[in-house]
Structures are given as C-alpha cells and as structure tokens.
C-alpha cells in the first residue's frame, strides 16, 4: 500500500475539486492519507474531512507559522481534541526560523505544549523544523529526557547532525518531493543515512510537487514519484520501498488499524 503521511486537504487550493483529488490519489494506488492541522482553529475542517472518508485520518496542532494565533495554547486543549476518533497525531508543530511568521520565543513555547500533549496521548509528534537545528535538537533531547514520546521529522530537509540526534531519540523521518529536486543533493545524502525501518512517504500537498510535476499544484496522486526516488536513493526495489514505508507508517501511527488484506 502507498500511504501519504502528510496532506493538507483542507487547504483552499483544494476547495473546488477535493473529491476529484482524493479519487485521483486512490487511482494512483494511494490507499491511505493523513490530513494535517495547521492550527487549532482549522481542526473542525480537518477533522470533518477525515470523518468523511474511511481511508483518511488527521492530526491536531498548530504550525510554527501560526503559533501567534494562540500563544496561550494549553496541552489540555490538544489532548481533548486528540480524543476524536480520527485523530492519529499531534501537530504539525515545531520551529521555523526562516520566515519567523511567529516570534521565536512564542514558537518554542507552543512547541513545548505539543510535546507535552504527544507524551500524554501517546500519539506521534509531527515536527516541522527549518533553520532551527540547534534549538530543535536541544528542545527534543531535553523533553525526551523527561519522558519518551514518538516523533516524526516531517519533510526532513535539515542537517545531518539534527537527523542523527533525533534518530537517537527513535525518530521517524518522512521523505517528500524535495528529494526529487535537482539541487537537493544534500537532502538525498541525509536520506541515505536515515534508519531504514523508520522512513515514510509524504507529498505535503498542495506544496512541493515532485519532479516531473514541479510548478504544478501538488496532489497525493504524485506520491509514486517520491516512492521511486526513495527507492533509487536507498538502492531498494520499488516493492521493497513500498513495503518498508508501509511497515514504518503503521509502526509510527499505531492508532490506525492496519488492513488485514
């Protein structure tokens, strides 16, 4: 089964043809998707999509860009929303020092709340990190020392040192269309060293369309291009890459029942 671990189906780019996008994904062999909350105020729309489709699940959380929306966010709010049946992860959350769309101190405070919620619920923490390697590594290591939690370094494009530090915490990593970009050899180099049993796939649609779809709105139907690139990078067959990423996905998102057929 192909599984897209990170889609943004509530995004306005899909408002006119969301149903057709989902059908194209299925036709392309994508058997399951996780649609991601970018802020708590978006959660009702995200959860409604997951509730409407048996092959779509969702997360709850606030992206670092949106930390300013709710700087007093409490872990209990996330924990309560995580009780919804279709919720399988906490996030997307983290640190983004590239755009600084929310103040850095606020990003760190909101991120810490998500870590607390992930530990309390046992759900994986879906982590966004950009140009914040040192703070990210230190926050995760310090928090993990206080009590373990599952984490996913989503759309990983940061450095090899942070990858090593988070892998030592048992992190999973998701590979996106960036791995197909001509200028992304540094990303491919890190992918070669990721723990092979903890790699999953994502499109991050509608963003980051893979080669040969660059310049277009990304869709989960484009996931096979990412699978093929991962197989090439790791020296796996397509079948092995698909089986490995499926196994890794269900090991991480263990609230989702694994199909028996």
Residue 257 lies inside a defined structural domain of this protein:
no
Q: What is the DSSP letter of 12?
A: G
Give the pLDDT of residue 192: 98
- 135-187 pLDDT, tens per residue? 999 999 999 999 999 999 999 999 999 999 999 999 999 999 999 999 999 99
69 touches 38 (CB < 8 A): no
170 touches 143 (CB < 8 A): no
Query: Does the pLDDT value for residue 260 go beyond 90?
Result: no
Split at pLDDT 50, 70, 90, the class of 203 is very high
Q: What is the mean pLDDT of the chain?
A: 97
Residues 6 or more apart from 224 whose CB is under 8 A from it? 2, 28, 29
Residue 261 lies inside a defined structural domain of this protein:
no
Residue 142 lies inside a defined structural domain of this protein:
yes
Mean pLDDT of 65-75: 97
Please state, as a whole number, how many other Cβ atoms lie within 10 Å of the Cβ of residue 237: 10
Please state, as a whole number, how many other Cβ atoms lie within 10 Å of the Cβ of residue 130: 16
User: CATH number for the domain including 53?
Assistant: 3.20.20.140
d(CA 170, CA 187): 20
Mean pLDDT of 119-135: 98
Range of the domain at 83: 2-252
Of the chain, the percentage scoring pLDDT greater than 70 comes to 100
Of the chain, the percentage scoring pLDDT greater than 90 comes to 99
Nearest to 117 by CA among 221, 175, 40, 2: 40
Residue 167 lies inside a defined structural domain of this protein:
yes
Nearest to 136 by CA among 101, 98, 174: 98
Residue 183 lies inside a defined structural domain of this protein:
yes
- 6-54 pLDDT, tens per residue? 999 999 999 999 999 999 999 999 999 999 999 999 999 999 999 999 9
Residue 180 lies inside a defined structural domain of this protein:
yes
Split at pLDDT 50, 70, 90, the class of 72 is very high
Mean pLDDT of 186-207: 98
Dihedral angle at the C-alpha atoms of 184, 189, 190, 191, nearest 10 degrees?
Answer: 90
Give the pLDDT of residue 147: 97
Residue 260 lies inside a defined structural domain of this protein:
no
Q: What is the DSSP letter of 131?
A: S
Identify any residues that bridge with 132 across adjacent strands, giving them in sequence order. none
Number of structural domains (the chain) is 1
Q: What is the DSSP letter of 65?
A: G
Residue 28 lies inside a defined structural domain of this protein:
yes
Split at pLDDT 50, 70, 90, the class of 261 is low
Taking the model in full, what pTM does it have? 0.97
113 touches 75 (CB < 8 A): yes
Give the pLDDT of residue 83: 98
d(CA 153, CA 126): 6
Give the pLDDT of residue 190: 98
């Amino acid at each position: 089964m192909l599984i897209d671990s990170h889609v943004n189906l509530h995004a306005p780019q899909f408002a006119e043809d969301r149903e057709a996008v989902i059908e194209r994904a299925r036709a392309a062999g994508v058997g399951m998707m996780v649609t991601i909350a970018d802020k708590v105020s978006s959660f009702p729309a995200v959860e409604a999509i997951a509730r409407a489709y048996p092959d779509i699940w969702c997360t709850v959380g606030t992206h670092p860009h949106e930390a300013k929306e709710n700087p007093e966010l409490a872990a209990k709010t996330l924990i309560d929303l995580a009780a919804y049946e279709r919720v399988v992860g906490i996030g997307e959350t983290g640190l983004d020092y590239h755009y600084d769309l929310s103040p850095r101190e606020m990003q760190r405070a909101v991120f810490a709340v998500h870590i607390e919620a992930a530990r309390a619920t046992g759900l994986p923490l879906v982590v966004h990190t950009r140009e914040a390697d040192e703070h990210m590594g230190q926050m995760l290591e310090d928090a993990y020392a206080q009590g373990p939690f599952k984490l996913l370094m989503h759309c990983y494009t940061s450095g090899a040192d942070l990858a090593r530090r988070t892998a030592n915490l048992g992190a999973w990593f998701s590979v996106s269309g960036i791995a197909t970009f001509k200028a992304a050899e540094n990303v491919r180099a890190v992918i070669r060293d990721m723990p092979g049993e903890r790699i999953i796939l994502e499109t991050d649609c509608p963003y980051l369309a893979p080669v040969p779809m660059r310049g277009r709105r990304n869709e989960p139907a484009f996931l096979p291009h990412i699978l093929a690139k991962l197989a090439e990078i790791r020296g796996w067959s397509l079948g092995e890459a698909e089986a490995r990423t499926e196994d890794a996905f269900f090991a991480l998102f263990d609230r989702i029942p694994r199909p028996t057929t």
